[in-house]
Amino acid sequence: MLYRTAGQFKTSYKADMALFPVRQDAVLLAVILALVWGVFPLLASEFAFQTLLIPILIYALAALGLNILTGYAGQLSLGTGAFMGVGAYACYKMVTLFPWMNPVVAILLSGLFSAGVGVMFGIPSLRIKGFYLAIATLAAQFFLVWLFEKWGWLYNDNASGAIQVPNLDMFGIYVAGPQASSLVQYYVVLAVVTLMTLLCINLTRGNLGRTWKATRDMDIAAELIGINLLRSKLMAFAVSSYVVGVAGALFVFMWRGAAEPNLFDIPLSFRVLFIAIIGGLGSILGNYLGAILIVGLPVVLNTLPQALGLPISSATVEHLNVMIVGALIVFFLIIEPHGLARLWALIREKLIIWPFPH
């Protein structure tokens, strides 16, 4: 009876279009929000912040950005890592050029730069489709990472070639750099991620979302019913790259603390792609589920042998991790190609009709 919807009637289209037409969904969300905003930060250890909470949120946000482009608008991208890099470097340049700038504002602005670069690399998408486009996004991936390395201005010509996050404060509290506490950083990340998620939910359920999905499902028909494909695709590139760029800025400023160019290389792009696909393309929730799995799994695997007292070297564990993640990807694709979000939807449907299945 947990998910009974009987007795919940909609009396207006407005009510039917509410974010959570089913009351139980709203309750569930309220519980989750209470947990992440109130309970987790109280209980979490430094280790939990750094290995689970903060990275899960950031990776989920990056996957959300990618999902807009690939899951909603149907344009496969393999260059997410590089666009995260654009966001991170843009943020770095802003806070070092304008030290008075509010760091959160800088993070939100840095997305604009990656959006611009994203649109530039998105222009070919009108003519290049499918896997050809995916390879084309690799051009962005390799070119941008090369640029991060060669263009000294980007990292203020540091001898190390890396960017180092300085101490940044907001109203007297350190939010980034070595002095910042994990708790504060967690809240900053959580606030940004919550805001972005809300905006993305609105975009994807409205007119733009339908435009994207139409472009994805059948581009010729989409154009014939009045969709300007170039505009629709570029809009997807812009919004997606914006979100990805913000995630990239958070990634370096709120979590890693420093970054070298190769941090944004292909493995990062793929990790984000896994999260989006295992979570579920064309889903918002899926990004979170995918991030929990992909970020959480190695942590579990790392602590497991110790807990069991197995004498396995940490390098072996690392490699086992990679192997298991690979196997899991195949496994999940086989049991549910539409991802964890679809799995949850199925469970939810069962709950709605439970305990009277017919």
Partner 1 sequence: MDGSRTDDSTEGQETVRDEGHVVAEGRRIGPVLMELRNITLRFGGVVAIKDISFDIREGEIRAIIGPNGAGKSSMLNIISGFYTPSEGALLYRGETRPPMRPYEVARLGVARTFQNIALFEGMTVLDNVMTGRLTHMKAGLVAQALWWGRARDEEIANREVVEKVIDFLEIQAIRKTPVGRLPYGLKKRVELARALAAEPSLLLLDEPMAGMNVEEKEDMSRFILDVNDEFGTTICLIEHDMGVVMDLSDRVVVMDYGRKIGDGTPDEVRRNQDVIDAYLGVAH
Partner 2 sequence: MLNDIFIKPFADMAAAPDFLLQVLWEGLVSGILYALIALGFVLIYRSSRIFNFAQGIMVVFAALTLVGLHALGIPAWISVALTLAVMFALAVTIERVVLRPLVGQPDIILFMATIGITLFLIGGGEIIFGGENKVMITEELGIPTGSVLLEPWGGLLILEQKDITAVLVAAALVVALLVFLNRTRMGRAIRALGDDHQAALSVGISLQTVWVLVWFIAGIIALVTGIAWGARAGVSFALEVIAYKALPVLMLGGLESITGAIIGGLMIGMLEKLFEIYWGQPLLGGNTETWFAFVLALVVLLFRPQGLFGERIIERV
Instruction: Tell the burial category of 356 from Cβ atoms under 10 Å away from its Cβ (0-12, 13-18, 19+).
Output: exposed
225 is an interface residue for partner 2 by CB under 8 A: no
Closest CA to 92 of 214, 243, 245: 245
SS3 168: strand
Piece of the chain touching partner 1 by CB under 8 A; list 24-32, 148-156, 226-234, 340-348: 226-234
* Closer by beta carbon to partner 2, 333 or else 347: 333
From residue 277, how far is each of 18, 64, 69, 263, 274 by CA, in Å? 27, 11, 12, 21, 5
* Alpha-carbon 108 to chain mean position: 15
Q: Which of 7, 14, 159, 358 binds partner 1 (CB under 8 A)?
A: 14
With DSSP H G I counted as helix, E B as strand and the rest as coil, what are the percentages for the chain, rounded to 5?
Answer: 75, 5, 20
> Which of positions 278-297 make contact with partner 1 (CB under 8 A)?
282
Q: Which partner from the list partner 1, partner 2, none does 358 bind, CB cut-off 5 to 8 Å by kind?
A: none
Q: Which partner from the list partner 1, partner 2, none does 124 bind, CB cut-off 5 to 8 Å by kind?
A: partner 2
Q: Which of 9, 13, 100, 356 binds partner 1 (CB under 8 A)?
A: 13
Q: Which of 33, 218, 322, 353 binds partner 1 (CB under 8 A)?
A: 218
Piece of the chain touching partner 2 by CB under 8 A; list 48-56, 100-108, 164-172, 319-327: 319-327
345 is an interface residue for partner 2 by CB under 8 A: no
Minimum distance from residue 138 beta carbon to partner 2 (Å): 5
Q: What is the DSSP letter of 175?
A: E
SS3 128: coil
Cβ-contact 67, 75 below 8 angstroms: no
322 is an interface residue for partner 2 by CB under 8 A: yes
Minimum distance from residue 162 beta carbon to partner 2 (Å): 17
149 is an interface residue for partner 2 by CB under 8 A: yes
Q: What is the DSSP letter of 173?
A: E
Q: How far apart are CA 294 and CA 340, in angstroms?
A: 12
Instruction: Tell the burial category of 45 from Cβ atoms under 10 Å away from its Cβ (0-12, 13-18, 19+).
Output: exposed
CB pairs under 8 A, 24+ apart, for 228-233?
229/126, 230/126, 232/73, 233/73, 233/75, 233/122, 233/125, 233/126
208 is an interface residue for partner 1 by CB under 8 A: yes
158 is an interface residue for partner 2 by CB under 8 A: no
Minimum distance from residue 224 beta carbon to partner 1 (Å): 5
Name every residue whose Cβ is closer than 8 Å to that of residue 358 and which is 6 or more positions away in sequence: none
Q: Which of 129, 213, 256, 348 binds partner 1 (CB under 8 A)?
A: 213
Q: Which of 150, 205, 231, 350 binds partner 2 (CB under 8 A)?
A: 150
321 is an interface residue for partner 2 by CB under 8 A: yes
Which residue ranges make up the site for partner 1 (CB under 8 A)? 13-14, 17, 199-200, 202-203, 206-208, 210-211, 213-214, 216-218, 220-229, 235, 239, 282
Q: Which residues bind partner 2 (CB under 8 A)?
A: 70, 76, 124, 127-132, 134-136, 138-139, 142-143, 145-146, 149-150, 220-221, 224, 266, 270, 273-274, 277, 281, 316, 319-330, 333-334, 337
